[in-house]
Structure 1
Amino acid sequence: MREPEERRVMAEQAVPEGGPKPAPVVIKKYANRRLYNTATSAYVTLEHLSQMVKDKTDFVVYDAKTGDEITRSVLTQIIFEEESKGGQTLLPIPFLRQLISFYGDSLQGVVPQYLEMSMSQFARNQEQMRSYMQNAFGFNPFQQFETMGKQNMAMFEQAMRMFNPFRAGQPGSGQPGSGQPGSGQPGQPGQAAPMANGQEAPKPETPSASPATPQGEVVIDDLKRKLDELQNQLALLSKKP
């Protein structure tokens, strides 16, 4: 198929703004590593698939022999090809090392959701970032990266609190059942009941909070630490001439 015709078909398959999402294009990968676009009835390359991603054309890749979905591995191959071209890359070596270290770690199940939220937030702000970088003289983009990183962490903490309902009843949370001492309301902990002779009865002992840290808080603390490390690296880069 000629290039203009293929571009036209890809444009028709792109996700429309506010419209219903079309079915993803089916790509088949054969044993000879050739990729076949069933929508255009033509063989394509990884470069074509990369352009489809940029055009927001959704697609899935299946192994033509086994029928297994291999979209993830093909997208990873696209990233590998882009990173191997040299020049300006997207994945710094420290980030890759940290990402590899999470494989087999207890946080491995949390990292994909965190990265997806962070990238979605960055994508929503990309037009604002471009405007800042084009119009503001002397603008330091790393300051915006740091701000967006803090916003992403706040979103992640909010999501973690949804899976950790026990924090709502801890002292200082302000939620019902928190049992604040000295609240002054009858029948609550910290309020001494008067005795018949006018003397004040001894205050009941308030059970101390459990010293054990919930698993969700451990996850958040670890992610905060790693985010701080990333912010420090960005700060060092921003100081370079």
Structure 2
Amino acid sequence: MKKQNTTGIVTIKKYANRRLYNTETSSYITLEHLATMTREGRDFKVVDAKTDEDITHNVLTQIIMEEESRGEAMLPVSFLRQLISMYGDSMQGMVPGYLAESMDNFRRNQDQFRSAVEGAFAQTPFAELAKRNLAMFDAAASAFKPPVGGVASAPAAAPTPAETTASASKDDEIAALKATLAQLQAKVDKLVS
């Protein structure tokens, strides 16, 4: 009888021959399957089949390297250099939390950004380009989507006055972006006429 997974976390076993075994589906899978699971918000844990050591971090890093090598690099060289320079630095311990919080903020603002861009480019020659850029934006953001049913991060605290001000300034930034896009649209319309 198959053991019921009550935690919602799928266990993936990695064998010495580098094969990955999904214990939920009782089948061998690839890194691409794990990338798809991540995009779908499925939480999983990869363990070494022999030692039972959690190697999820290593496998996720390997997935990122595979994605980056396919030609559509998302991580700029300057970012990678800065990240590497932080290893061994006294601030190294703060980097993971900072990056996680930055990506959380990025995902929270994703819908606002999408609405602003879609509204600005509707019915223009740039509409198709905007759609493609938003699709790439979604793909990038989905890589950092928090897992569903996984280990939850600390509950969100009530917004501080600084955060409230930051939110208001983000609204101002969006309004400025819309105004700039409207000006660009007017220039494009003038060129097309």
Say yes or no: TM over 0.5: yes
Residue 130 (structure 1) aligned with residue 114 (structure 2): yes
1:204-215 map, 5 Å = none
Q: CA offsets per residue over residues 98-120 of structure 1, 9 Å max, x none?
A: 00000000110111111110001
Give distance in 2, aligned partners of 1:128 and 1:56.
21
1:62-211 map, 5 Å = 62-86=47-71, 88-137=72-121
Higher relative contact order at CA 8 Å, sep ≥6: structure 1 or structure 2? 2
Give distance in 2, aligned partners of 1:122 and 1:22.
28
Other structure's SS at 1:118 match: helix
> 1:113 corresponds to which letter in structure 2?
G
Other structure's SS at 1:68 match: coil
What's 2:23 paired with? 38
Give distance in 1, aligned partners of 2:109 and 2:32.
26
Q: TM-score, normalised by structure 2?
A: 0.59
Other structure's SS at 2:93 match: coil
Q: TM-score, normalised by structure 1?
A: 0.47
Runs of 4+ in structure 1 over 6 Å off: none
> 1:40 corresponds to which letter in structure 2?
T
Q: CA offsets per residue over residues 145-164 of structure 1, 9 Å max, x none?
A: xxxxxxxxxxxxx99xxxxx
Q: 1:56 aligned to 31, 41, 55, which one? A: 41
Other structure's SS at 1:113 match: helix
Q: How many residue pairs end up in the alignment? A: 122
- The percentage of aligned residue pairs carrying the same residue is 60
Other structure's SS at 1:36 match: strand
Structure holding more helix per residue: 2
TM-aligned CA deviation for residue 23 of structure 1: 2.3
Which consecutive unaligned segments of at least 5 residues does structure 2 have?
A: 127-132, 134-158, 161-193
Give the greater-gyration-radius structure (CA).
1
Give distance in 1, aligned partners of 2:91 and 2:85.
10
> 1:51 corresponds to which letter in structure 2?
T
Give distance in 2, aligned partners of 1:82 and 1:133.
26
Give distance in 1, aligned partners of 2:7 and 2:73.
31
Give distance in 2, aligned partners of 1:117 and 1:51.
23
Give distance in 2, aligned partners of 1:127 and 1:75.
26
TM-aligned CA deviation for residue 85 of structure 1: 0.2
Other structure's SS at 1:125 match: helix
Q: 2:14 aligned to 18, 29, 45, which one? A: 29
Q: CA offsets per residue over residues 34-53 of structure 1, 9 Å max, x none?
A: 00000000100000000000
